[in-house]
Amino acid sequence: MIGWFKERIINGGKPKVSRAQVLAARPLRNPSVEWSRERARGAEEPDEAPRVVVLRVPRRRDRWGNLVAAVFRLPDFRKVELDEIGSDVWEMCDGTRDVEALTKAICATYRLNRRQGEASVTAYLRMLAERRYVVLSTRKAGAPAAAAVGGAKARGGGSKGSVSRRRKQA
């Protein structure tokens, strides 16, 4: 009982993920978020402004979202402008590279040491994941969906799910 209370209330019910698991995860962009590279706004000289990523995030399309949008006259998309490092991280979130490869690339590009780069990239990916712009996949690149880490038991399917999957493949 105390363990359940501690896990759910004090820790917020979030699963504990090790550093190695985070570095092995592969970030993947949300396909509903449109994006493009544009010149940064607010630069003194537009020709020398760095090109940053601008995200177009769609609003909710359910009943509640449509009602709120009609009452407050909300646009269909919200624009989010990423900074220079965030733009590079966003472009590399294609599901082929893991977090460790992203960290190495950012460290090399911006001359950061490993600790600074890792802290920056993981904090940035956490923020993107909380806003549901990216998802961190634990599957290997090119692996089928059934080979996801955790298997059927981690999803609550038990052994019956794995038996029925074997029957379908046979």
Please write the tens of the pLDDT for every residue from 147-166: 333 333 333 333 333 333 33
Domain parsing of the chain, residue ranges: 12-141
CATH number for domain 12-141, candidates 1.10.530, 3.30.160, 1.10.3470, 3.90.930: 3.90.930
Task: Answer yes or no: is pLDDT of 145 > 60.
Answer: no
Choose the weakest-confidence range: 6-10, 30-34, 66-70, 88-92.
6-10
Of residues 161 and 39, more confidently modeled: 39
CB crowding 40-68: b at 16 or more within 10 Å, else e:
beeeeeeeeeeebbbbebeeeeeeeeeee
Pairing of strands 134-137, 77-81: unpaired
Return the H-helix or E-strand segment holding 136: strand 134-137
pLDDT score of 49? 72
How far CA 167 is from CA of 98, 143, 145, 149, 160, in Å, comes to 33, 20, 17, 21, 11
CA distance linking residue 160 with residue 125, whole number of Å? 35
Q: Is the pLDDT of residue 73 over 70?
A: yes
Neighbours of 144 (CB within 10 A): 8
C-alpha closest to that of 134 among 64, 53, 68, 74: 53
Q: For the whole model, what pTM was predicted?
A: 0.71
| Helices (H), ranges, the chain | 2-5, 19-24, 63-72, 84-92, 99-110, 114-130, 151-154, 158-169
Element (H, E) at 26: strand 26-29
- Which uninterrupted H or E stretch holds 34? strand 34-39
